[in-house]
Structure 1
């Protein structure tokens, strides 16, 4: 009987190549999964940073009594004023920005600022509460940040 060494070597080489291909495809699929997850998390983080940036700007302008922003504060409790805010394309877009006037549990005037930003199909929403304190009349209020959330 003759040994078929050429055929068995060929089958052995094909089997090794196929196993290497399976390992290679597994590594590629894992790297693609990691990339997709990383891209999604980075997009979500950018949406959060954009929302935080817009909200921080709104709060600082209202605290400094900037007339451009204080004119948008609703006059009566329960009223909501919607704002149109544009961002550069690389920061995403502002889907919703509003100011709601209410009273807190202690009867103080309060406004709730809400901003919702989108970046690459990821959305983030941030809010801030501001409390109004009387300056010299009951209608003239100085707004101070209470909290972000």
Structure 2
């Protein structure tokens, strides 16, 4: 393009100095300017298309990376969720086991209390019976103790 500008400057100077100057020489030069402009435009268009393709590739790479990161995060979340579920199940099983032991202990304590109460009642009845027998013996022997 610079060479064409130099040529244009040269032809312009020549046109001013030479009365026999052929203007078609400038027209030919203008056609070269037009061709050169189209070449520059086509090159710029090609460069722009190349940049668009590179941008699209970079965007696709970024999307792929984001998808990969999201998939990894989801896998990590699923593993965390599974681990949490296992921990919750283990804790629930432990609580159920503890509750079952407490229920069994309660049943044993209830039975022990029931046995103890029966023995207490039995002892009380035996004591009352012994007292009654002793009192009955005292009455039947005729010994009445003055109070």
Q: What TM-score range do you get, normalising by the shorter chain? A: 0.3 to 0.5
Could you say which structure has the higher helix fraction? 2
Higher radius of gyration, 1 or 2: 2
Could you say which structure has the higher strand fraction? 1
